[in-house]
Amino acid sequence: MEGKRLLRFLFLIFSVVLLLLFTLLNLPYEPSDKAELLDCATYSPWCTSKNRFQSKMPQLLQNSPKPTRRHHSADVPHHPLDPLTLQEFNKVRTILSSHALLKSSSSYALHSVVLEEPDKPLVLRWRKGNPLPPRKASVIARVDGVSHVLSVNIDTGEVTQLETGSISGFPTMTIEDMNSATWAPLANADFNRTILERGINLADLACLPISSGWFGKIEEKRRLIKIQCYSMEGTANFYMRPIEGLTVLIDLDTREVVEIADKGKNIPIPKAADTDYRYSAQNIHQELNLVNPISIEQPKGPSFTVEDDHLVKWANWEFHLKADPRAGVIISRAKVRDPGTGEMRNVMYKGFTSELFVPYMDPTDAWYFKTYMDAGEYGFGLQAMPLDPLNDCPRNAYYMDGVFAAGDGTPYVRSNMICVFESYGGDIGWRHSESPITGMEIREVRPKVTLVVRMAASVANYDYIVDWEFQTDGLIRSKVGLSGILMVKGTPYVNMNQVNQQENLYGTLLSENVIGVIHDHYITYYLDMDIDDSDNSFVKVNIRREQTSPGESPRKSYLKAVRNVAKTEKDAQIKLKLYDPSEFHVINPSKKTRVGNPVGYKVVPGGTAASLLDLQDPPQLRGAFTNNQIWVTPYNQSEQWAGGLFVYQSQGEDTLAVWSDRNRAIENKDIVLWYTLGFHHIPCQEDFPIMPTVSSSFDIKPVNFFENNPILRIPPNVEKDLPVCKAAASA
């Protein structure tokens, strides 16, 4: 007995020493200076260096283009929707630090500090040159374990506490939450022991903070997170080396280990070989240089301007663009020029990715809770890292930074978080040739050039490439590309011939001991359409078969378009049906075209996958905004986040589905359209060790908005305008 206790004691000591060693060796992971950790690109060296160059091709580094580095210290707001500036962030921090609520607290953290957008009528009335409406910050603070929503008037210093009601859930985690939780298990000797027992050197450990969802009593009133770990021995792609079955439940507030589940001791850690995807880790003699260099070139430069840091003007479009810690990218006040009148016409007041829902399809102990809601839990914008020039965006791109606040309110700059570029991939805007049948000498073709706004959020393993693409014909395409790395599960199997046909692997055997678990992705967009003015209606244009009467026609049937104006929200809860199709228009009932059609835009669905989970399943209750593919709600400033304001561990009582079920009137009102892009993902071996991008998109598209084709008069390409290029000199 005594001997056993001594052994335990020695082990504990050993573990602690190891832990200390590890902490010292890996100090950058928990730096004392939070700003340095967070301030990717402006101060910390790693975000801008490219390790592939560092390790094998240092001479190339100087050839890499460097987008202009901006310091933002002199930024001032020019537009009512401009995000908070560095100076404003600092003012907010000062105001709050002396405010009674925070000053008297034993601990607090600011989970969100963003511009409190002025009321919509104020923004709509505002014109360039007018004074800005009062600048306010909307702050979500957690003070002694209680969430508060504060409105901070930056000029007057006034702080107002807003009532949020007694809804469940917690604010978006801070980066500090995620970091501290990730390393919290190392303070636990049992955890360290189990790691060592699995044969893993603590220095090779990489852990991830996995939102625990909500499944009942245990999650209540306590902010919890689950930590799962991986071995990074021999690979940068530790995601492919799970320590399967080991789940550590952590209290996010106390960093205390609540529970350790350790159920995968018989499951080997998959091998490191062939998992590293970095260029520097490949055998260069096996390099696969498949294509000659190719580039989008604009000899006269780009055709867009960014006025006052945020107002993008391109071709016939104009919109306000900003980074947001939760949504990622926010497009506001999108207007398009009417080619007839020259007037800029309102299309969309505000559009952004409101929430994501990513349920994994494995009900077992270490997997059931993986039902991510990336925007509200992790911050879709917080996870968007600096873009890689020439690869994430073409050479002709313009880069925009995000300025966010750390948990203590200190602002930091996320450099090059968004890029804007003109795209031409050889597509055709419109064309017509006359055929020999008519014998006319006509061949008229116009190339299609678009403007893309891009962000890439890396929510741990997965990478979401979020594009807003503007076309000159008035169409806006919202596209999401999925790349990055699968979340995989360890298994004893190395070949499918070992697997009994009855057994459910919950996914695909991707490599020896690696299963890619089936999952869905849903990305729900908030689209506050303002077609010319704010008051709009939602019209379902149902396409129905009509049977002809006997003798009426040699045809038995044809399709007819039947218009139905949605009166209330339930009329606009849409499940798409291939055999009962409709078009979905947002129209301005007060404005008609010359020949009397209501002006409008339609949402053109794409990327349609529907959630099939039980509607009463806890994850689906929280992700109930995916119960329909389309919803329409009356504009309500407080209804912006489809999964609710406090998504973390929410129970689903503040989702779009709940709001919509109030069944409010939506006809001829200021309305918001919600669209959900969906993907079912059954992994395949091609997704290993990193996934080729899979994309889906939907469009919002003018429908009788213009009197006629708005790009009728654009000229064709002619040789004399195109650049003269030569190969760059070799190094």
Q: Which is nearer to a second copy, 30 or 190 (CB)?
A: 30
- Cβ 126 to a second copy, closest distance in Å? 27
Find, among 170, 221, 61, 70, the residue nearest to 647 by Cα.
Answer: 170
Q: Which is nearer to a second copy, 66 or 125 (CB)?
A: 66
DSSP alpha helices (H): ranges in 109-183? Answer: 120-125, 175-183
Question: Which DSSP string do the residues of 161-175 spell out, in sequence order?
Answer: EEP--S---BPPPPH
Q: Which is nearer to a second copy, 458 or 668 (CB)?
A: 458
- Output the six-digit token pair for 244: 């399967």
**Active-site residue numbers?**
374, 462
Between CA 317 and CA 479 the distance in angstroms is 18
Cα 99 → chain centroid: 33
Longest dimension (CA), the chain: 103
Q: Which is nearer to a second copy, 98 or 364 (CB)?
A: 364
Cα 726 → chain centroid: 38
Which residues are within 8 A (CB) of 555 and not within 5 positions of it... i.e. 6 or more apart?
A: 548
Q: Evaluate whether 227 touches 185 at the Cβ level (below 8 Å).
A: yes
- Cβ 28 to a second copy, closest distance in Å? 6
Between CA 75 and CA 65 the distance in angstroms is 24
- Cβ 75 to a second copy, closest distance in Å? 23
Q: Which is nearer to a second copy, 453 or 673 (CB)?
A: 453
Q: Evaluate whether 52 touches 372 at the Cβ level (below 8 Å).
A: no
Q: Which is nearer to a second copy, 665 or 722 (CB)?
A: 722
Amino acid identity, position 32: S
Q: Which is nearer to a second copy, 84 or 574 (CB)?
A: 574
> 3-class secondary structure for 520-540?
EEEEEEEEEECCCCCEEEEEE
Q: Which is nearer to a second copy, 495 or 637 (CB)?
A: 495
- Helix (H), strand (E) at residue 715: none
Q: Which is nearer to a second copy, 162 or 562 (CB)?
A: 562
- Output the six-digit token pair for 697: 């998109």
Pairing of strands 514-517, 488-490: antiparallel
- Cβ 424 to a second copy, closest distance in Å? 5
- Cβ 559 to a second copy, closest distance in Å? 4
- Cβ 99 to a second copy, closest distance in Å? 28
- Cβ 187 to a second copy, closest distance in Å? 18
- Cβ 643 to a second copy, closest distance in Å? 18
Kindly tell me the burial class for residue 442, based on how many C-beta atoms sit within 10 Å of its own C-beta (0-12, 13-18, 19 or more).
Answer: exposed
Q: Which is nearer to a second copy, 39 or 116 (CB)?
A: 39
Q: Which is nearer to a second copy, 10 or 682 (CB)?
A: 682
Kindly tell me the burial class for residue 397, based on how many C-beta atoms sit within 10 Å of its own C-beta (0-12, 13-18, 19 or more).
Answer: buried
Q: Which is nearer to a second copy, 81 or 613 (CB)?
A: 613
Between CA 537 and CA 540 the distance in angstroms is 10
- Cβ 518 to a second copy, closest distance in Å? 6
Q: Evaluate whether 649 touches 668 at the Cβ level (below 8 Å).
A: no
- Output the six-digit token pair for 566: 């949605």
DSSP structure class, residue 82: P
- Helix (H), strand (E) at residue 618: helix 618-622
Q: Evaluate whether 513 touches 271 at the Cβ level (below 8 Å).
A: yes
Find the distance separating the first CA and the last CA of the chain, reported in whole Å: 70
Cα 631 → chain centroid: 20
The number of CA neighbours under 13 Å toward the Cβ of 632 is 29
Q: At what angle do helices 2-25 and 189-197 cross, to 10 degrees?
A: 90
- Cβ 338 to a second copy, closest distance in Å? 12
- Output the six-digit token pair for 73: 């210290």
Between CA 147 and CA 171 the distance in angstroms is 7
- Cβ 447 to a second copy, closest distance in Å? 5
C-alpha radius of gyration, the chain, whole number: 27
- Output the six-digit token pair for 368: 């059931």
Find, among 510, 528, 507, the residue nearest to 518 by Cα.
Answer: 507
In three-state secondary structure terms, 673 is: strand
- Cβ 231 to a second copy, closest distance in Å? 13
Q: Evaluate whether 151 touches 136 at the Cβ level (below 8 Å).
A: yes
84, 377, 471 from 305: Cα distances, Å: 21, 34, 16
